[in-house]
Structures are given as C-alpha cells and as structure tokens.
Structure 1
Amino acid sequence: MPKLDLERLVPVAGELFFSRNDTNDVRLGDVVQRGIAAYADASVVILGFPEDEGVRRNGGRPGAADAPAAIRRCLYRMGSAGLTELALVDLGDTPPAPTLEERHDLHMAVVAQIIADGKRLLVLGGGNDVAYPDYAGLTAAAGPALAFNLDAHYDVRADTPRNSGTPYRQLIGEGRLAPTNYHVIGAQPFANSPVYTAFLEKCGAQVTTLQMARSRGVTATVEHITTESSATTIFWGFDMDVVNAAEAPGVSAPNPLGMRGDEFCALAELAGRDRRTRLIELSEVCPPYDLDLRTCRLAAAMLWYALQGFAG
C-alpha cells in the first residue's frame, strides 16, 4: 500500500483544544500536540473519521459525522493526570471523498501508514462501518489481529452496498479477518437476527452476550480472552450503543439494556494496558440526539481511560 501524504488530513479546529491557561490545572488540551509537525515524535495518534453515510444506508439515526468534533470538545477539557509524559498527537480527520467506499479506501491507507510507522492509534468515528478500513489498514501494516467488537450488534449483515452493519462480514468475506479471531462482546439477542447468529456459529466466531459477560464480570471475561490468545496484535472496536441508553442516549441505535459506563471505561483501560493493542476505535456517537452531553462525555471518559492504559 503506497504511503499517503498525511498533510492531506483535515486539521482540527483550534477552539476544540481547551485550556484554562493555568499551570495549576493543566488539561488534556494543553498536553496534546497538533498536526503533522508533531507526528514523528508521537507514540499515540488520534484520528477522526467524521462520516455517517454508512448509518444512513443501514436505516440508523444520522448525526455520527458530528461526533469527532463533539468528542474532542469534551475530551480536551479533561484533566491531564498521568498523561503529561505521553507523546500524543491529534492529526485531524480523514478528508471527505465522493463516496463512502472511496473514503474507506482513503482512511484505510492513513491507518496503515500510521501503524506501519510504529504508532498506536485512537480513531474517532463516525459510524461503525469505520471498523472495516480500521481493521483492514491495521492488518495491512501489522498482520493478523485479534478483533473485539464491543457492541449490541454483530455487524455481519449481508447487505449491499456496505453500511454500518456490514464491516465484519466484509472483513471475514475478504479473508482479512479469521472468524476465530472475531469476538463480539456485549451483544443483545433482541438486537440481532438468528440468521447471523447461525452464520457466526458456523464460521467459528465468538459471541459473548452482556448477560454472559456479567456472569463472570465484564472485564474479567475480556481479560481471560486476551490472556488465552497468542495473538501479537489486538484491535478494539468500541461501539457506543453497547452502553445503556440512560448513560448513552446520543447514539445511532439506543440500547435499553446495555453495559454500564464504568464497565465500558474499564474495558478501555484494559485495552490500552495490553501492549499488543495497536488500534482502538470509538463509533456511533450521535450528538444531535445527545442529552446534556452525556454520551459525548462518556465517550471522552472512555478515551481518557484508554490513554491512561497507553501511558501506564
């Protein structure tokens, strides 16, 4: 895959980098570096994918295109405790393209370059279709990876054209993702078709419902999978609709019986702590439907805990 000129990325608006201009109260907006000039020395990169065409195609609530900016606005107001020594850069957003397919290709190339350059990557979606170029770009640069999809849905729909419900079906069908490396965590039986349950069972993927995970402990369940795995690279997809709608109302598909926010954030820290983790993505935040910024603030907290894991 050819190297991409990262200067083509869309810069983040300066107003999103919050600062109190107070040396006694340093915020994350004071710590994070900005743009391509800081890229070479960075160990962790933040990249946005402001797109919701995949959600529209899937019949979900549009608005996820606004998520990267809204999440950054909350994230960069957070404290910097434990993160001041982390070489963190926000590169901006993947630029637009005429079609979703073309934007996926462009994003995939950006991801592959960042991973090939030895960075760890946080991606801010956008719809969950971003999992397709994220995982494909990761594996193009780093080889096969264990994949976690923390989600109420399987995302293996057999739809054409691609949408926010198809990314893992695409990856499996194209041979990019071995089904036995695919783990859905937090799935809700009422949110998925038995046809797709049978598909995953037949191909050897693993589905852990939220009820199953809680019987052992959500974090303990996932940590057991990572400990038992011999994978050298791990990919994490955090879909906000895995969280209950009381704590995350601003999503593309609200979940009445989802994961708690503290469970969600604990998994993010677990992901960041594992040295095999190369990419963590967050998707399906839908700011137009948020209430009192609950969803955006939880998304920001989840990313803050992932950064704590990286820094640890």
Structure 2
Amino acid sequence: MAIDVSMWQGRLDAGERGDTTRLFQVVRPLGDDVPPGAPVLLGFACDEGVRRNQGRVGAALAPREVRRALANVPAHGLPVLFDAGDIGCPDERLEDAQQALGAAVHALLAQQARPVVVGGGHEVAYGTYAGLRAWLEARGDSGRLLIVNFDAHFDLRTARPANSGTPFDQIAADCQARGAPFAYSCLGVSRLANTPGLFARAAELDVHYVQDFEMQERHLEQRAAELDRRLAEADHVYLTIDMDVLPASVAPGVSAPAAYGVPLAVVEELVKRVQRTGKLRVADIAEYNPTFDVDRHTARVAARLVYQLICG
C-alpha cells in the first residue's frame, strides 16, 4: 500500500529551544523493521457499509484527514510512528475490503506492532476483529476477548448483506460458530438511535451497555469502576470508538450526529483505563465524515483520540 506523504506536512520550529519534534517528522512508511510495540497507523478508506445502511457517505475520506490533523501534533518523545497506508473498497466489494483489513491487522500483530486503524464506516470493526481473531488462533490463544465499543448505536442489525450497522452481530455469529464467548460492552448507547428490536437483540446476546445519559462526567467514577471489573476478567481487549458517540457540538462531522452524546473527557479517560491494563491488542476509530465537518473540528477530535491510542 502506497503512502501519501503529502498528508504528513507540518510546522518546523528549528529555531526554538528544546524538543520541537512533531509527528510528521517521526512518521515512517511501514517496512520489515518494526520494533516490538511500535504504533502503526492503518487506514480503512471505506464507507460502503454506510451506504448500504442508508447513511451519509463520506467516511472513506477520513484516514487522509486524520493524518493531516495528526501531522502537526508535537511528538512528545514518540520516536517513530509507522504508516501502513490505506485499504480501500473498490467496486463496492465491502467483504473483500474487510478480508484485506483482517489480513493486514493479523500481519501487524504478528510483527508485535500496535495497530491503530482509522476508518471509514463502522464496518471497519468486523475487519479489525477478524484480524485479531486470526492472530489469536495462530498463537493457539483461547484467552477471553473483551470488545469495548464507544458508540451511540449497538450495530447489532441482523439484516444482510453486511453494512455499518451489522459488525457486532457478525462478530457474535462468528463467536457462536467458534464456541467462543461474545463479551461485548457498548458505552454511550442512545435510546433515540436504536429501535426496541435492537435493544431486544442486545438482551438476547447478553450485551453489557450503558446509555448516553448515564455516561456524563458526574457518572465517571461509577463507569470507570464497572469498566475496570470487566477489564480484569479479560485477557485481550479490542477497543473501537465510533465518533458519533460524541455530542454533535464536539463532533459535527460524522455519519449520524448525536443530539446528546458522551463528553470527550469521559471517553478519553475510559480509553486511558483500557490502555493501562496492557491488554489492548488493537484499536480503531470509525464514522468520522470530513464531508460534514465544521472548520475541521471533528478532524482534531479524531486526531486527539488517535494520538492517545498511539502515544498513551
């Protein structure tokens, strides 16, 4: 996958005192020399799932814009960030794109890298999961996998073909086929964005969820304690952040803006708690839609979350 270096441009402060290094100065194309534990950015330039789900397309442009927003951020001691380029979705072949993403995630984990995937619609989740599952199987690792999703939506739709609203139902079906537990925690669910049928499906699958009005800053201590207990029971964690979990005033450029949402401070603090466990294997963000952004506000928020994932 070719790297578009034009996205990695920023300010040079060579005349200033101290360390003035920015991320664009430490980015390297992915090669065979990835040190263990090094962060790798991988784009999933696809919103075919959003189109199939009757949503607002444009998220396929997100990986490019997130790189632009990240480029000028100070590196704060990060020695290197590898860019693995983008996986696209030619000819609307979503399933092929998800398979390619899974293969890429598997390969990165096999290199002992720390992959952070930037979608794209939330169909990215099934590809990311497939790569993680393949890596665990190749190792003969049957440890308990916890999926933590910050999202206004369950994404448990049962209709097929696959779309941006089906990935966690697909994962549940895969777990059932493998005889593996489906441990799924969805944080920030909006009652106004999910039908009673979806709440029933969540109950059927024993999904742990917290609604958005219970995810405000006054609830942070309680939510953190709950998350800590679930993390303690897991051996591996897959973390996924749908940008529409945030209020529309914070993240206007998403496929489905949230009228209420979860504060960024809450999301970021809980993400940090996941990271501190040492169990996070792969993470992704989804549904940033540059087409509907306002003064690049959402790009900066997405970049902040990615920065936390690569540097935290």
Q: TM-score scaled by structure 2?
A: 0.89
Distance across 2 between alignment mates of 1:67 and 1:223: 33
Distance across 2 between alignment mates of 1:36 and 1:246: 39
Deviations 1:216-251 (A, max 9, x none): 634751453234432111001100000000110100
Aligned position for 1:131:
125
Aligned position for 1:187:
189
Aligned position for 2:84:
91
Distance across 1 between alignment mates of 2:133 and 2:241: 18
Q: Which of 28, 35, 55 is the aligned partner of 1:33?
A: 28
Give the secondary-structure state (helix, strand or coil) at the position aligned to 2:305.
Answer: helix
Q: Which of 129, 134, 141 is the aligned partner of 1:140?
A: 134
Give the secondary-structure state (helix, strand or coil) at the position aligned to 2:233.
Answer: coil
Aligned position for 2:13:
22
Deviations 1:186-222 (A, max 9, x none): 0011110111211211221111112223386347514
Equivalent residues in 2 for 1:152-191, closer than 5 Å? 152-175=152-175, 180-191=182-193
Deviating beyond 6 angstroms after TM superposition, the runs of 4 or more aligned structure 1 residues are none
CA contact (8 A) 1:145 1:232 kept: yes
Aligned position for 1:273:
276
Asked if 1:74 is matched to 2:69, the reply is yes
Identical-residue share of aligned pairs (%):
33
CA contact (8 A) 2:34 2:113 kept: no
Deviations 1:247-280 (A, max 9, x none): 1010000101011222233333333333100111
Deviates more, 1:152-161 or 1:300-309: 300-309
Q: TM-score scaled by structure 1?
A: 0.89
Structure 2: runs of 5+ lacking an equivalent: none
Deviates more, 1:106-115 or 1:291-300: 106-115
Q: Which of 44, 54, 57 is the aligned partner of 2:52?
A: 57
Distance across 1 between alignment mates of 2:179 and 2:171: 5
Deviations 1:157-204 (A, max 9, x none): 011111000000011012269565100000011110111211211221
Equivalent residues in 2 for 1:208-219, closer than 5 Å? 208-214=210-216, 217-218=219-220
Deviates more, 1:20-29 or 1:129-138: 20-29
| Structure 2 letter corresponding to 1:31 | V
| Offset of residue 44 of structure 1 | 1.5
Deviates more, 1:295-304 or 1:24-33: 24-33
Distance across 2 between alignment mates of 1:150 and 1:84: 26
| Count of aligned positions | 298
1:18 and 1:41, CA in 2 relative to 1: closer, same or farther beyond 3 A? farther
Deviations 1:62-110 (A, max 9, x none): 00000000011001111112x434x431111124444111111111111
| Structure 2 letter corresponding to 1:88 | L
| Structure 1 letter corresponding to 2:296 | L
Structure 1: runs of 5+ lacking an equivalent: 1-8
Distance across 1 between alignment mates of 2:70 and 2:99: 28
Aligned position for 1:5:
none
Distance across 2 between alignment mates of 1:64 and 1:202: 31
CA contact (8 A) 1:121 1:279 kept: yes
CA contact (8 A) 1:219 1:266 kept: no
Asked if 1:282 is matched to 2:285, the reply is yes
Distance across 1 between alignment mates of 2:180 and 2:97: 24
| Structure 2 letter corresponding to 1:304 | Y
| Structure 2 letter corresponding to 1:120 | R
Give the secondary-structure state (helix, strand or coil) at the position aligned to 1:36.
Answer: coil
Give the secondary-structure state (helix, strand or coil) at the position aligned to 1:114.
Answer: helix
Distance across 1 between alignment mates of 2:81 and 2:229: 27
| Structure 2 letter corresponding to 1:16 | M
Cα RMSD (Å): 2.1
Aligned position for 1:46:
41
Deviations 1:5-29 (A, max 9, x none): xxxx2x2311211232334421111
